[in-house]
Amino acid sequence: MITRRWFAAGLAATVLVPGTASAQAKKKSFQLDAMYQPQSVPYQTDLPAGSVVVDPKNKFLYLVESSSSACRYGIGVGRAGLEWSGKAIIGRKATWPRWIPTKDMIKREPAKYEKYAVGVDGGPANPLGARALYLYRGGRDTYYRIHGTIQPWTIGRAVSNGCIRLTNDHVIELYERVGVGATVVVL
Protein backbone atom coordinates (compact mmCIF):
# COMPACT_ATOMS: atom_id res chain seq x y z
CA MET A 1 0.00 0.00 0.00
CA ILE A 2 1.24 3.50 -0.84
CA THR A 3 1.53 5.96 2.04
CA ARG A 4 0.76 9.54 1.10
CA ARG A 5 0.22 12.65 3.19
CA TRP A 6 -3.51 12.57 2.43
CA PHE A 7 -3.86 8.82 3.09
CA ALA A 8 -4.95 9.20 6.71
CA ALA A 9 -7.32 12.01 5.78
CA GLY A 10 -8.84 9.78 3.09
CA LEU A 11 -9.75 7.05 5.56
CA ALA A 12 -12.36 9.04 7.44
CA ALA A 13 -14.15 12.04 6.04
CA THR A 14 -17.15 14.06 7.04
CA VAL A 15 -19.19 14.86 3.98
CA LEU A 16 -22.45 16.58 3.13
CA VAL A 17 -25.25 14.34 1.92
CA PRO A 18 -26.73 15.89 -1.25
CA GLY A 19 -30.44 16.15 -1.85
CA THR A 20 -32.95 18.39 -0.14
CA ALA A 21 -31.86 21.44 1.81
CA SER A 22 -32.45 19.60 5.08
CA ALA A 23 -30.49 16.56 3.86
CA GLN A 24 -27.60 18.78 2.81
CA ALA A 25 -27.36 20.09 6.35
CA LYS A 26 -26.84 16.59 7.73
CA LYS A 27 -23.34 15.17 8.04
CA LYS A 28 -22.36 11.58 7.49
CA SER A 29 -19.17 9.91 8.69
CA PHE A 30 -17.59 7.61 6.14
CA GLN A 31 -14.65 5.22 5.99
CA LEU A 32 -13.41 4.03 2.58
CA ASP A 33 -12.73 0.29 2.31
CA ALA A 34 -8.94 -0.29 2.26
CA MET A 35 -9.13 -2.11 -1.10
CA TYR A 36 -10.21 1.19 -2.72
CA GLN A 37 -7.26 3.16 -1.34
CA PRO A 38 -4.53 3.95 -3.91
CA GLN A 39 -1.89 1.24 -4.08
CA SER A 40 0.86 0.13 -6.41
CA VAL A 41 -0.03 -3.16 -8.08
CA PRO A 42 1.49 -5.39 -10.75
CA TYR A 43 -0.09 -4.45 -14.09
CA GLN A 44 1.01 -5.64 -17.52
CA THR A 45 0.36 -3.24 -20.40
CA ASP A 46 1.76 -1.86 -23.63
CA LEU A 47 0.41 1.60 -22.80
CA PRO A 48 2.95 4.29 -21.92
CA ALA A 49 3.42 5.55 -18.37
CA GLY A 50 0.86 8.23 -17.58
CA SER A 51 -1.95 6.41 -19.40
CA VAL A 52 -5.16 5.57 -17.57
CA VAL A 53 -7.11 2.30 -17.75
CA VAL A 54 -10.59 2.15 -16.24
CA ASP A 55 -12.07 -1.23 -15.30
CA PRO A 56 -15.73 -0.45 -14.51
CA LYS A 57 -16.66 -4.08 -13.84
CA ASN A 58 -14.17 -4.33 -10.96
CA LYS A 59 -14.50 -0.64 -9.93
CA PHE A 60 -10.81 0.26 -10.36
CA LEU A 61 -8.85 2.88 -12.27
CA TYR A 62 -5.20 2.16 -13.09
CA LEU A 63 -2.63 4.89 -13.65
CA VAL A 64 0.12 3.18 -15.64
CA GLU A 65 3.53 3.68 -14.00
CA SER A 66 5.54 1.25 -16.17
CA SER A 67 4.99 -1.74 -18.46
CA SER A 68 4.59 -3.90 -15.35
CA SER A 69 3.02 -1.70 -12.65
CA ALA A 70 0.25 0.79 -12.02
CA CYS A 71 -1.26 2.78 -9.19
CA ARG A 72 -4.76 1.41 -8.60
CA TYR A 73 -7.59 3.65 -7.35
CA GLY A 74 -11.10 2.64 -6.31
CA ILE A 75 -13.86 4.25 -8.36
CA GLY A 76 -17.60 4.66 -8.63
CA VAL A 77 -19.01 4.03 -12.10
CA GLY A 78 -22.13 4.50 -14.25
CA ARG A 79 -25.37 2.73 -13.49
CA ALA A 80 -26.50 -0.04 -15.85
CA GLY A 81 -27.30 1.46 -19.24
CA LEU A 82 -25.26 4.59 -18.58
CA GLU A 83 -21.78 3.11 -18.97
CA TRP A 84 -19.29 4.37 -21.51
CA SER A 85 -16.38 2.40 -22.96
CA GLY A 86 -13.66 2.91 -25.51
CA LYS A 87 -10.50 4.91 -25.99
CA ALA A 88 -10.21 8.64 -25.40
CA ILE A 89 -7.70 11.26 -24.31
CA ILE A 90 -7.70 13.78 -21.51
CA GLY A 91 -8.81 16.82 -23.51
CA ARG A 92 -8.73 19.26 -20.63
CA LYS A 93 -8.49 19.42 -16.85
CA ALA A 94 -10.22 21.68 -14.35
CA THR A 95 -9.91 22.48 -10.65
CA TRP A 96 -13.20 22.90 -8.77
CA PRO A 97 -15.04 22.60 -12.10
CA ARG A 98 -18.44 24.03 -12.87
CA TRP A 99 -21.08 21.29 -13.29
CA ILE A 100 -23.96 21.35 -15.74
CA PRO A 101 -26.17 18.26 -16.07
CA THR A 102 -26.38 16.94 -19.63
CA LYS A 103 -29.62 17.20 -21.61
CA ASP A 104 -29.96 13.41 -21.29
CA MET A 105 -29.72 13.62 -17.49
CA ILE A 106 -32.43 16.31 -17.40
CA LYS A 107 -34.63 14.29 -19.79
CA ARG A 108 -34.20 11.09 -17.71
CA GLU A 109 -34.83 12.72 -14.33
CA PRO A 110 -36.28 16.23 -14.79
CA ALA A 111 -37.39 16.59 -11.16
CA LYS A 112 -33.84 15.95 -9.99
CA TYR A 113 -31.78 17.84 -12.60
CA GLU A 114 -33.90 20.53 -14.31
CA LYS A 115 -33.30 23.01 -11.47
CA TYR A 116 -29.55 22.75 -12.21
CA ALA A 117 -29.86 23.30 -15.99
CA VAL A 118 -27.90 26.58 -15.74
CA GLY A 119 -25.13 24.82 -13.81
CA VAL A 120 -23.54 24.77 -10.38
CA ASP A 121 -20.39 26.74 -9.65
CA GLY A 122 -17.32 24.83 -8.53
CA GLY A 123 -16.89 24.28 -4.80
CA PRO A 124 -17.41 21.78 -1.99
CA ALA A 125 -21.10 21.18 -2.88
CA ASN A 126 -20.48 20.63 -6.61
CA PRO A 127 -21.13 17.05 -7.86
CA LEU A 128 -17.86 17.04 -9.89
CA GLY A 129 -15.85 17.45 -6.73
CA ALA A 130 -12.39 18.97 -6.48
CA ARG A 131 -11.03 18.12 -9.95
CA ALA A 132 -12.23 16.85 -13.33
CA LEU A 133 -10.46 15.25 -16.28
CA TYR A 134 -12.53 15.68 -19.45
CA LEU A 135 -12.55 12.77 -21.92
CA TYR A 136 -12.31 13.67 -25.60
CA ARG A 137 -12.48 11.46 -28.68
CA GLY A 138 -11.76 12.68 -32.20
CA GLY A 139 -11.21 16.20 -30.88
CA ARG A 140 -14.71 16.33 -29.38
CA ASP A 141 -15.90 16.26 -25.78
CA THR A 142 -17.55 12.92 -24.94
CA TYR A 143 -19.33 14.48 -21.91
CA TYR A 144 -17.78 11.76 -19.77
CA ARG A 145 -15.46 12.74 -16.96
CA ILE A 146 -13.08 11.31 -14.42
CA HIS A 147 -13.89 13.48 -11.43
CA GLY A 148 -14.12 13.78 -7.68
CA THR A 149 -17.29 13.28 -5.70
CA ILE A 150 -19.15 14.75 -2.76
CA GLN A 151 -20.52 11.22 -2.20
CA PRO A 152 -17.41 9.16 -1.35
CA TRP A 153 -19.55 6.26 -0.11
CA THR A 154 -20.38 5.60 -3.81
CA ILE A 155 -16.82 4.38 -4.50
CA GLY A 156 -17.02 0.70 -5.40
CA ARG A 157 -20.59 1.02 -6.67
CA ALA A 158 -22.42 1.62 -9.97
CA VAL A 159 -24.44 4.74 -9.25
CA SER A 160 -23.35 7.64 -11.46
CA ASN A 161 -24.73 8.97 -14.74
CA GLY A 162 -21.80 7.35 -16.54
CA CYS A 163 -18.79 9.28 -15.28
CA ILE A 164 -15.92 7.79 -13.29
CA ARG A 165 -15.78 9.02 -9.67
CA LEU A 166 -12.89 9.05 -7.22
CA THR A 167 -12.75 10.51 -3.73
CA ASN A 168 -11.70 14.16 -3.81
CA ASP A 169 -8.31 13.33 -2.23
CA HIS A 170 -7.65 10.68 -4.87
CA VAL A 171 -8.77 12.76 -7.85
CA ILE A 172 -6.53 15.63 -6.70
CA GLU A 173 -3.55 13.27 -6.78
CA LEU A 174 -4.55 11.78 -10.15
CA TYR A 175 -5.03 15.30 -11.56
CA GLU A 176 -1.44 16.15 -10.63
CA ARG A 177 -0.06 12.93 -12.15
CA VAL A 178 -1.96 12.86 -15.49
CA GLY A 179 -1.42 15.33 -18.30
CA VAL A 180 -3.67 16.69 -21.01
CA GLY A 181 -3.30 14.38 -23.99
CA ALA A 182 -2.90 11.23 -21.88
CA THR A 183 -4.59 8.10 -23.22
CA VAL A 184 -7.61 6.77 -21.35
CA VAL A 185 -8.98 3.29 -22.05
CA VAL A 186 -12.33 2.37 -20.52
CA LEU A 187 -12.81 -1.40 -20.73
Catalytic status, residue 71: no
Annotated catalytic residue within 132, 163, 171, 182:
163
Residue 4 has pLDDT above 70, yes or no: no
Region 56-73: what's the mean pLDDT? 97
Residues 86-101 have pLDDT tens digits of 999 999 999 999 988 8
Q: Are 146 and 183 in contact (CB under 8 A)?
A: no
Q: Into which CATH architecture does domain 34-186 fall?
A: Beta Barrel (2.40)
- Whether 23 shows a pLDDT value over 60: the answer reads no
pLDDT digits (tens, 9 = 90+) for 40-50: 999 999 999 99
Burial class (CB in 10 A: 0-12, 13-18, 19+), 126: buried
Asked if 163 is an active-site residue, the reply is: yes
Residue 181 has a pLDDT of 98
Confidence of residue 39 (pLDDT cuts 50, 70, 90): very high
User: Taking the CB of residue 122, how many other CB atoms lie within 10 A of it?
Assistant: 18
Q: Which of 59, 131, 147, 165 is catalytic?
A: 147
